[in-house]
Structure 1
């Protein structure tokens, strides 16, 4: 019998029935996030307006919320979408971009956390600060290594009953009990704007494919990014050529290659 939580199986399942994912993301990320989703095999919808975000969440397979370019109107749409996803039993993913930077962001994330995200994805500095620790983050950039955020991720997962993913040189995923690390990617990835934001959207696609297994869905999405990033980076001359090569690598990645190349280890 095939393991339906295996990343390769989940990739095949996602592509055979492309999920509609409501991606409430920032202005910087919209284009690359939509392209990443399409290349990976999912169907993105950049719907954030407060007048329709809640309604649209009800017909989506999953919702992803990224606070990168936050405004009062967008926050109302985010809260409506998260609430609607909960009512419909749909998974939703929170990307708390630079949530520690201003009071507006801190308060917004506190309100979103009250709506019980299924998955939280952030960099090490964001996760450390979200758990109440002192991070070295500056703006949207992480100044902390992933390994320093692992305990914070476990605390957050237990506190909010969700899956937490810390992404960086070696990714870390936990539900508060079990945990895994995912190796791969490329040093060029942090030099391409909004790839992390795009990963949040892809986590939503896999969560829509396996709504009862958010931990395995998150690991699968991160593994896809890691393998595609490593393959793209092998022939890239810099962040510019890496960007388009990464989209090509995502589109070309098949379940057999993912199964052979993914490096996933218990943590």
Structure 2
């Protein structure tokens, strides 16, 4: 595949913290309209890889490309317009309304030194709120939102800049089960807009249900990169997570995956 056919890609990506290598020679390509889940144990390098793609982590070696253009050739404002990144626990600004948060996400499109956006920017804010189903909550404080609503507000914060690439670090980790599903359905729907989405996550069932591809990360290296419906996906995931996995079909036909373990409750 040619680099300019991919939304985002990296070649020979290597990242260290101090003297400790964390990401080792990673090559990856994600096409427009594709949702990719990155699965791995804690400290496997998932967050570091996303931060490297987002230009928030210094690279020891390798390059990141947007549509075939090296990211270090783009200025900060252009990169911020094209790539949106949400960390695992975004900072919650007290007493800020949902609309104010989303407006802040639009700032990469503001003219230099401008404090407020144009009429076009205000329309984009309204559109982002509508996409995540928060139009009616636009003037509510972030402090009183449910976990699912708050996460959707942060997604709107990212979407309002009309990015080509959306990077999310464990966006479902602190959500109730129904909100996890709602958020993944929302992200899956964004593929129709041609947005490339990369999600670091722990939930195997959600990854298989909603992702187009699953990448297994083990000790900073890509252990496998498969389509989510591949025949050997469970075996690969079990190897990366160092656990035996069982699967079964839900009443809706989705594949659910659980660890195969036994807890002895004998006194």
Fold agreement, TM-score > 0.5: no
Identify the structure with bigger relative contact order (alpha carbons < 8 Å, sequence gap 6+). Answer: 2
More strand by share: 2
TM-score by length of 1: 0.32
